[in-house]
Structure 1
Amino acid sequence: MFARYMTYDLHVIMKGADREYGEFFTGTRASEIQNQLPAGATMIPIILASDKTPVTRQMGSLEMHYVFMTIGNIQSNVRMQATSHAWRCITFIPTLEFEGHHDYKTILLARLFHHCLDEVVAPLKHAALHGMELTDAVGGMRLCYTPLVSYIVDLPEQQLIADMAMSTSPVTFAERSEFGRAEAAEPQMDKQTLMQLFELCQRVDPWDLDVFQKATKLLKLLGVHKQFWRNWKFAEPSLFLTREILHILHKFFFDHVLAWCKELVGAHTLDTHFKLLHRHIAVHHFSSGVSHTSQMTGQDHCDVERTIVPLLVGFAPDQFISPICAMVEFIYQVQDPVHTDSSIASMIQALRNFHAGKHVILELEARKAKSGPMTHFNIPKLELMQSFPRQTKANSVLIQFTADVMERLLIIHCKTVFPCTSRRSNFMEQTVDILNWEETI
């Protein structure tokens, strides 16, 4: 078993008669969009990514949403490397302090985000609707269309973009009490959301914040009446909000699965197992254990995942190890660089195996909160895993939409740029000038 989990990420799925999913253009979504374009038109799939991060150090708590863009025509193994310069920072969206009642802060910040992004992507929306003449690599003119096919963000920003309340899924009709279900919920389509808002705006003034916010809460919406994607042709939030491996899978494993193992086996015992693990090439050796670590890198998460199952054998019941093994299996299968219909079915089965055995985790009181043992699995990220198969078929393999490259871009464009400015009131203009100089060079 130990050897298996050390080499699981090197396995190759044999090619058969199934449809193969690799780059974005091999997914069903690309075919659906291309079939609706004029004959001879070229599709330029737009991929966005953003994250809210502090941009100042020792100068207050200023935060911004940095938005990056690339295109799906670039091969995934190229664009998912920060050193390939395949991404461009297209805007800084500020987070402001509004004067007024605190209850309106969330809705105003959400509307500000959508309004700013709406202004920035206006040319892309025009090209997605009417097309734009662009020059190709050999000098020919092409009629190009720019649909939004992926927006890489973590869960809070997914809810911000989808205009969904925090107690609901950003992409389905599932609510918090249904997050632990073993069945996938029905997707929340853009037409349904926009129709609800249109009917609400006919009855209530959107700028009467008190009344409008109360009405949107009843509909499980955030309160943005003009989403940036509302008039972007082919933009479907349940599809372009691609499920993100780093935050949904690896963070879920660290925050929950590893916590269950610590609770059942004991933090000291688990640390001892990691410390005594024989040093081996390509296997990280946690000389200080894992229980006292409050934050890990994505690579650290992968290193723990590949060794956690064999380290539990003999110290935890087989009924407990079974769902943990199924979740690790699911995490590894999602990251395959090539998928087929058969491998997607195997992925679905792995998640079903977890749900079939997860009750043992509750029975052993391994899932705990500060108030005591918990009796449910209403975890938002667990609900998002149900839509991984649908996303894989639509947009192809999800490993090409991971946020690892975005985390690196944030360092390059944010955390190293601000110290180069004079740190005065016009530091935003200085930051833009610095980034322009770097791109020119």
Structure 2
Amino acid sequence: MHPTFLTIRNIHSEIRMKATSHAWACIMYIPTPEYIMNHDFSGVLEVHLWHRCMDMVLQNLKVTAQVGEFMTDPMGCWCYAFTPLATHISDLPEQLMIACVSKNVSPITLAAPAQFDDGIVHPPQDGQSTINELITLGKIVDPWKVQEFLEWAKQQSLSGVHLLYWCDWWFSDPAIFLVPKLLHTCHKFFFNHILKWCKEVVGANELDARFHSQHKCVGMHHFTDGISHVNQMTGREHCNIQQRLVPTIVGVTTPGFVCALHALVDFIYKSQAPTFTDSSIGSMVASLNEFHAHKHFILEAEARTGASSPMGHFQIPKLELFNSFACSICKSGAVIQHSADASEWLLIMHCKTPFTWTSHQRSTFTQQVVTLVNHEDTMQ
């Protein structure tokens, strides 16, 4: 079962980012059934179910976003409030599912796969345009003939789901409410790509030796056994490696390679600022542009490799998302407030810990979870 958490954007970000502040509420557990059929077909049904569950639970918020509702604030005063969808924090696969686009395109912009590495800010993936395409497609093929509709949808780079939970939510646009998630967009990108490039050029043993020889520092993780063998890291370890990687590889790689990585690490660092000004956003964008100006040195070093040979491009979906950071910050605020720290802690509190309270029997698990949720609602 997949939990969904809800909070209010009016709460200050410093409070909202702390899981112990109880600023988030678990509003539902979305079931994750298993389908005995073709993988693509079952994937579409899963997305259909997800959107349907979201639509049912969030229906009242949609109505309130349209007509408003009287609510009391913390001071006990009555306010006429509206509930637009401000942000939906999710990783890249979830963003593709929400935007109802196929896996080979961007959920935020109209960039094609071949344009993922051009460093250009492409026009946004307008939500209304997606809805119009689905309506037009629905006039050609019955959307409930799922297999036929899916084949036609793929030709339009759509996922094949036509009932989107946000389509009737006023002022909702995936290009705006789908915000970057630092853990998956930046830190995972660093681990899966930047660190891998360094291992290819410097060598795993040499990189481990250089990290091992560094002086220990209070508050910093010291990688006694190196970093090449680590398959999974915490966010803190990601940050510690990012802070040390560039000076660690100096002298063993070309200056152009170091400059490209330095610019990209700078971009990731600057994107985590708690507040932004026009100049700080410009500095962040300048770092990304500097990377694109020097990225050919990475290809020349044959650092970007595929399954059997070096790759000659940077067509990485998450790299394309970096181009949207500046626009997202201007519209939705600092990226750091959408950190996954709170959500990861909430997953432990609402999934892993409650699971230990059940009998661990698959046949009765759903009913036991419902009972637990009812008890929590009663106590609140």
TM-score band, normalised by shorter chain? over 0.9
CA deviation vs aligned residue, 1:277-334 (integer Å, no higher than 9, x gap): 0011232211110000001111110000000011111111111100100011101110
Contact 1:413–1:435 (Cα < 8 Å) also in 2:
no
Aligned equivalents of 1:87 and 1:335: distance in 2? 22
Number of positions where the alignment pairs a residue of Structure 1 with one of Structure 2 = 378
Aligned equivalents of 1:282 and 1:138: distance in 2? 40
| Matched position secondary structure for 1:369 | coil
Q: After the TM superposition, which of the residue ranges 199-208 and 158-167 deviates more from structure 2?
A: 199-208
Aligned equivalents of 2:349 and 2:177: distance in 1? 25
1:433 aligns with 2:371: yes
Aligned to 2:14: 77
Q: Which of the two has greater strand per residue? A: 1
Aligned to 2:130: 193
CA deviation vs aligned residue, 1:353-379 (integer Å, no higher than 9, x gap): 001000000011011122111111000
Aligned to 2:25: 88
Q: CA deviation at 1:410?
A: 0.8
| Matched position secondary structure for 1:149 | coil
Contact 1:279–1:285 (Cα < 8 Å) also in 2:
yes
Aligned equivalents of 1:103 and 1:437: distance in 2? 38
1:184 aligns with 2:117: no
Aligned to 1:249: 186
Aligned to 1:368: 305
Aligned to 1:272: 209
1:105 aligns with 2:46: no
Contact 1:149–1:395 (Cα < 8 Å) also in 2:
yes
Q: CA deviation at 1:428?
A: 2.0
**Alignment CA distance shift 1:102-1:331 (3 Å):** closer
Aligned equivalents of 1:222 and 1:332: distance in 2? 33
RMSD: 1.3
User: What TM-score does the superposition give when structure 1 sets the normalisation length?
Assistant: 0.84
* Matching residue's letter, 2:315: N
Aligned equivalents of 1:293 and 1:138: distance in 2? 50
* Matching residue's letter, 1:280: C
Moved over 6 A (4+): none
1:334 aligns with 2:274: no
Q: Within 5 Å, give how 1:91-170 maps onto structure 2.
A: 91-170=28-107
Aligned equivalents of 2:102 and 2:164: distance in 1? 14
| Matched position secondary structure for 1:71 | coil
Among candidates 278, 281, 287, match of residue 350 of structure 1: 287
Aligned equivalents of 1:113 and 1:83: distance in 2? 28
Aligned equivalents of 1:330 and 1:214: distance in 2? 39
Aligned equivalents of 1:100 and 1:324: distance in 2? 44
Q: CA deviation at 1:433?
A: 3.0
| Matched position secondary structure for 1:138 | coil
Higher relative contact order (CA 8 A, sep 6+): 1
Aligned to 2:143: 206
Q: CA deviation at 1:432?
A: 3.2
| Matched position secondary structure for 1:353 | helix
Q: After the TM superposition, which of the residue ranges 136-145 and 149-158 deviates more from structure 2?
A: 136-145
Aligned to 2:228: 291
Q: After the TM superposition, which of the residue ranges 325-334 and 209-218 deviates more from structure 2?
A: 209-218
CA deviation vs aligned residue, 1:177-199 (integer Å, no higher than 9, x gap): 21111111111101110110111
| Matched position secondary structure for 1:92 | strand
1:309 aligns with 2:249: no
CA deviation vs aligned residue, 1:248-294 (integer Å, no higher than 9, x gap): 00000010000001110110011011111001123221111000000
Contact 1:183–1:386 (Cα < 8 Å) also in 2:
yes
1:67 aligns with 2:1: no
Give the fraction of aligned pairs with identical amino acids, expressed as a percent: 45
* Matching residue's letter, 1:256: H
Q: CA deviation at 1:101?
A: 4.3
* Matching residue's letter, 2:359: S
| Matched position secondary structure for 1:66 | strand
Among candidates 299, 302, 324, match of residue 387 of structure 1: 324
Q: CA deviation at 1:438?
A: 4.5
User: What TM-score does the superposition give when structure 2 sets the normalisation length?
Assistant: 0.97
| Matched position secondary structure for 1:400 | helix
